[in-house]
Amino acid sequence: MNGERTAVDRAAAQGAPATAAGSPLAETARRLTEKDRYRRFEVGIPEGDGWIPAAQLLDRGFAAAWFERVAARSGDRRFAAGVLSRAYVSAVVLAWAFPVLAEARLPLSPLEGVRLHVGERSRVDGVALADPRVAVVAGDPAQGLPGISVLGSRDQLWDALAETLAGMEPLLERVREVSGLGWPALWGEVADQVAGSGLWLARLYGRDPWAAWDEAMSVISRLAAREPRLRVRPRPFPVQWRGGEELHMVRGTCCLHYRRGKAAQPGEELYCVSCPLRPDDWRRETIRASLEGGEGSR
């Protein structure tokens, strides 16, 4: 993404061509789509409306037009900045971090081979990768198949993912140019989405959330070592309720979503339970009330 030869590029150069149909990455995409009712994952060239090349996000005019549309619709430019930053970051997190955190498989596709589906409220709700090649950790059932690169350990996998995420600086630069958001907020959004994705996938796959949190923190620590402007990180927030314990998080940065309600009707701020602007007592009681009300995992 930044023009340099990343670990993804090097691994892709080593892998033989692979077909999309039936590839290990396609299997991972299918399982993710089955488990995640909010998002769609594909390997191959998608059909239908709403798909755009991910590389289009690098165009300053495209980013500016997106930002101005949201700002005009909401009446709040700070809210629009949050929407744009979430969309840009989620494009990368969904394409590369989701398969890693879900099934320890790192797509080897460059940005030019990714398509995004943008749904309601400028939300990226679909990702398609034209290149089916993938890097896996030794011992993966896909090891030895065409188009598969093998990494020696999970530490190497976390390193490769962190390197890929560090390469998204040009995308963040577009958001910064058109919205005015600063670098700490932008890189903080990356850390928040990686951590949130780890917890979300742990729930979908029925895994230990604390182990998923540790894995996400391993990636974030490696990213912070590469990117000194990543200054704030999310923190874990366990909540005890009658069903046991559920692990949530507190974001390191505010996503500015609360301003949507404030712009529409003053005094009606819509705070997320992960918002760092809200006190922990409010957060704990809000989450517990939801869980005790029978909703289960949010």
**Domain boundaries of the chain, sorted by first residue:** 7-233, 234-298
- The one-digit pLDDT tens for each residue of the chain (298 residues) are 654 445 555 554 444 444 565 799 999 999 999 999 999 999 998 888 889 999 999 999 999 999 999 999 989 999 999 999 999 999 999 999 999 999 999 999 999 999 999 988 889 999 999 999 999 999 999 999 988 999 999 999 999 999 999 999 999 999 999 999 999 999 999 999 999 999 999 999 999 999 999 999 999 999 999 999 999 999 999 999 999 999 999 999 998 888 875 554 555 567 899 999 999 999 999 999 999 986 544 4
* Dihedral class, residue 69 (left if φ above 0, else alpha if ψ from -120 to 50, else beta): alpha
pLDDT of residue 295: 52
pLDDT of residue 97: 98
> What phi and psi values does residue 121 have, to the nearest 5 degrees?
55, 35
Residues of the chain by 3-state class (helix, strand, coil), percent to 5: 55, 15, 30
What is the pairing mode between strands 124-129 and 105-107? unpaired
In angstroms, the Cα distances linking 99 to 23, 85, 180 are: 13, 21, 31
Q: Which of 192, 149, 187, 194 is nearest to 166 (CA)?
A: 187
Q: Residues 101, 198: contact at Cβ < 8 Å?
A: yes
Q: How far apart are CA 97 and CA 219, in angstroms?
A: 9
CA dihedral 246, 247, 251, 257 (to 10 degrees): -30
Distance between start and end Cα atoms, the chain: 33
